[in-house]
């Protein structure tokens, strides 16, 4: 019988079992390791194993590589891939001169609403020195939307105000008869101590760091007679909703001496309160063409047939022959490891569970 030796990791061809088409070819693995296991149970005689029953065999295939393409990552992650414009977070840094302007550059596709400007401790020290500055030019666009869906459930002395939550809002101001009576982080508020049989008008406005959004359509009600605890729900009339369409928000007013900034045509300009020589970091999202790999919590890799090829060398003749290993049903494990190191290339380790197809796990073929 000939004696053989095998060297080098196998080249891998991955065929998608769902489509029958080749999804990936891997010729850059540092190592491929196949491991086969089977659980056995024994009957013993006087403490020694006497009879063995073998369970079904199972296996794993591990691929270790420092080189990989995006197709490999998407396969392991069960990810969706889209080509086109995507948002890229950028960071720029600049030191103010007498113009108090930091140029980000022309031709950038920046979303002004995403800009954050933060003072740093120095040109060579990126640590933040304070909180992000107020964006005066984007404040109006960043005000929260108008509150909708206002409904007030009331009896003789109590009114519960409910409304739809607003994206980006950090709190809500509740007004009764034109006066602010509460500020709440919840999209409801209970007003107590009302006088029976009296008319009240409620409105609500959402707020965030940029200011307060437009007030909602009003809800007008008359509380029940004294002692009446049965509740009634009131909502805005069509006339009140039409009147509220012209409501506008109110931009927050920076405190005296507070440094603010504006953005226009690729330039960040700080207010007169800023000091030339100070250094600022600017963060923003920029639209760029690229490929996006989206990892979903409920999406997982499919199953593959894997054909692994390598060469074996006969000891006596030195002749090389091709060996191909056919794994019938391989599924990447949901857990995988991508290691990034400042002193070494990133390494990727993928483990496939080798599952049976019928009763077949794998075939080893030597091509003469």
- Map out the domains of the chain as residue ranges: 4-41+48-79+297-367, 85-136+254-292, 142-251
pLDDT at 107: 80
Residue pLDDT, tens place only, 22-79 = 989 998 888 888 899 988 999 999 999 999 998 888 899 998 888 877 788 888 888 8
pLDDT of 1 above 70: no
Question: What CATH class is the domain 142-251?
Answer: mainly beta
Task: Give the CATH architecture of domain 4-41+48-79+297-367.
Answer: Roll (2.30)
Q: Which residues is 34 bridged to in the sheet?
A: 61
Nearest alpha-carbon partner for 56 in 352, 363, 358, 350: 358
Q: How confident is the model at residue 353 (pLDDT cuts 50, 70, 90)?
A: very high
286 has a pLDDT exceeding 80: yes
Share of the chain above pLDDT 90, in %: 55
Which of 219-228, 260-269, 320-329, 332-341 holds the top average pLDDT?
Answer: 219-228
**pLDDT greater than 90 at residue 260:** no
344-354 and 320-332 beta bridge pairing = antiparallel
Distance CA 240, CA 217 (A): 6
pLDDT over 70 at 189, yes or no:
yes
Residue 361 pLDDT level (bands cut at 50, 70, 90): very high
Residue 137's pLDDT is 67
What is the CA 301 to chain-centroid distance, rounded?
Answer: 19
| pLDDT confidence tier of residue 190, bands split at 50, 70 and 90 | very high
Q: Which percentage of the chain shows pLDDT scores above 70? A: 99
Distance CA 222, CA 20 (A): 71
User: What letters, b where the CB count within 10 A reaches 16 and e where it falls short, cover 155-191?
Assistant: bbbbbbbbbeebeebeebbbbbeeeeeeeeeebebeb
* Secondary structure of residue 141 in the 3-state scheme: helix
CA 166/CA 176 separation, integer angstroms: 20
User: What DSSP designation does 359 have?
Assistant: T
* CB of 347 closer than 8 Å to CB of 67: no
Higher pLDDT, 226 or 342: 226
Residue 169's pLDDT band (cuts 50, 70, 90): very high
Distance (Å, whole) CA 168 – CA 108:
25
């Amino acid at each position: 019988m000939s004696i053989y030796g095998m060297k080098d990791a196998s080249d891998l061809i991955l065929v998608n079992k769902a489509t029958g088409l080749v999804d990936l070819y891997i010729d850059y693995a540092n190592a491929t390791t196949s491991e086969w296991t089977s659980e056995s149970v024994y009957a013993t005689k006087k403490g020694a194993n006497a009879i063995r029953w073998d369970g079904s065999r199972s296996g794993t295939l591990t691929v270790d590589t420092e080189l990989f393409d995006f197709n490999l990552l998407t396969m392991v992650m069960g990810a969706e891939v889209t080509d086109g414009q995507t948002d890229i977070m950028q960071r720029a840094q600049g030191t103010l001169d007498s113009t108090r302007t930091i140029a980000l550059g022309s031709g950038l596709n920046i979303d002004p609403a995403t800009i954050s400007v933060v003072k740093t401790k120095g040109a060579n020290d990126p640590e933040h020195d304070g909180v992000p500055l107020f964006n005066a030019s984007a404040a109006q666009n960043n005000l929260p939307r108008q509150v909708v869906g206002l409904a007030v459930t009331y009896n003789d002395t109590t009114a519960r105000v409910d409304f739809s939550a607003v994206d980006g809002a950090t709190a809500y101001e509740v007004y009764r008869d034109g006066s602010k009576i509460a500020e709440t982080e919840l999209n409801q508020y209970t007003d107590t101590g009302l006088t029976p049989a009296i008319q009240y008008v409620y409105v609500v406005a959402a707020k965030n760091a940029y200011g307060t959004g437009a007030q909602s359509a009003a809800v007008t009600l008359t509380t029940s007679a004294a002692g009446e605890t049965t509740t009634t729900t009131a909502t805005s009339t069509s006339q009140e909703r039409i009147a509220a369409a012209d409501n506008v928000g109110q931009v927050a007013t920076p405190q005296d001496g507070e440094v603010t900034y504006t953005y226009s045509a690729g330039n960040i300009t700080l207010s007169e309160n800023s000091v030339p020589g100070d250094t600022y970091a600017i963060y923003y999202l920029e639209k760029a063409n690229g490929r996006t790999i989206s990892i979903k919590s409920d999406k997982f890799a499919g199953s593959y047939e894997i054909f692994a090829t390598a060469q074996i060398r006969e000891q006596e003749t030195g002749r090389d022959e091709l060996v191909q290993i056919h794994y019938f049903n391989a599924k990447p494990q949901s857990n995988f490891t991508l290691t990034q190191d400042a002193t070494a290339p990133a390494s990727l380790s993928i483990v496939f569970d080798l599952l049976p197809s019928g009763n077949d796990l794998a075939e080893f073929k030597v091509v003469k």
